[in-house]
Amino acid sequence: MNDKVIIKINNLSKKANDTDILKNISAEFKEGNIYGIVGRNGSGKTMLFKSICGLINPTDGEVYVFNKSIKNGAFPEETGIIIENPGFLPQYSAFENLKILASINNKINDETIKHYISLVTLDPNDKRPVKKFSLGMRQKLGIAQALMENPKLLILDEPMNSLDEDSVELVRKILLDLKNKGVTILLSSHNREDIDKLCDYIYTIKAGEFLLSEDK
């Protein structure tokens, strides 16, 4: 098993309106594993993911991703994310949306973008604006967005939302293939089957506290 630490969290806490959302969390996530993060709504899962991605500043503690401190809005390198509902410019097509996002880092070409749109069984030549997409189609586009720059770390908050059974099976296969290539994945899901089939380690967040519940 690879012992390379991809994410290191030291004594992370987050308060909001005098409420403890995250309580003194410390953890390490190593290369090439899938980690399940489970807990009820409001338990702190999404806040933890946002902290790792630099989308919020913790009240206390530190997060390191690829040995770099994540603070003051710094987004970790080589990381793909889905947090909450994927947001796109509704008047543009799937390809146009991903093209705009890809222009930020300018790492991939049009053919790569089209490949990842096709990978999630969407049509890269579909000219319809995203506002006409179903929820499941938008979720697939969010997954394509998270994958398209070949990240070494994936942070996926309920990636299976609104997907049909065949699409769920496809995404599971994609994630297992990526794990086998050394990608580290943090995954939350309300579907216990996703967690059981995909995850090497399962953590529970309860009232802001973080516990290793199962080591498979």
Q: Domain check: are 144 and 163 in the same one?
A: no
User: How many C-beta neighbours within 10 Å does residue 125 have?
Assistant: 11
Q: Is residue 85 domain-resident? A: no
pLDDT of residue 84: 84
Together in a domain, 74 and 158: yes
Nearest Cα neighbor of 213 from 47, 44, 199 is: 199
Domain boundary at 150, 166, 201, which? 150
- Based on the fold, state whether residues 114 and 214 are members of the same structural domain: no
- Kindly report the CATH number assigned to the domain that includes residue 23: 3.40.50.300
Domain match, 163 and 182 both: yes
Name the pairing type of β-strands 79-82 and 19-30.
Answer: unpaired
Q: What's the whole-number mean pLDDT along residues 32-39?
A: 95
Query: Confidence band (pLDDT; 50, 70, 90) for 71?
Result: confident
- Pair (38, 125) in one structural domain: no
CB neighbourhood size of 165 (10 A) = 7
- With H, G, I as helix, E, B as strand and everything else as coil, classify residue 151: coil
Same domain, 156 and 138: no
Of all residues in the chain, what percent carry a pLDDT higher than 70?
97
Continuous segment of H or E residues that includes residue 147: helix 135-147
SS3 content of the chain, % helix, strand, coil (to 5): 30, 30, 40
Cα 20 to Cα 12, 36, 161, 181, distances in angstroms? 11, 22, 27, 37
Average pLDDT over residues 25-43: 93
The H-or-E segment that residue 137 falls in is helix 135-147
Let me know whether 96 and 167 are in one domain.
no
156 & 74 share domain? yes
Winning range, highest mean pLDDT, from 46-50, 54-58, 140-144: 140-144
176 and 103 inside one domain: no
Flag whether 86 is in a domain. no
CA-closest candidate to residue 201, choices 47, 24, 60, 30: 30
Calculate mean pLDDT across residues 25-39.
96
What's the predicted TM-score (pTM) here? 0.94
Residue 102: the pLDDT is 96
Name the residue among 167, 169, 146 with its Cα closest to residue 157.
146
Query: What is the average pLDDT across 108-137?
Result: 97
- Per-residue pLDDT, 216: 56
Instruction: Give the type of residue at 27.
Output: A
Cα separations in angstroms, 200 against 16, 32, 49: 31, 10, 18
* One domain for residues 18 and 33: yes
Provide the residue range defining the domain that includes 137.
91-150
Last residue of a domain, one of 126, 150, 174: 150
| Structural domains of the chain, count | 2
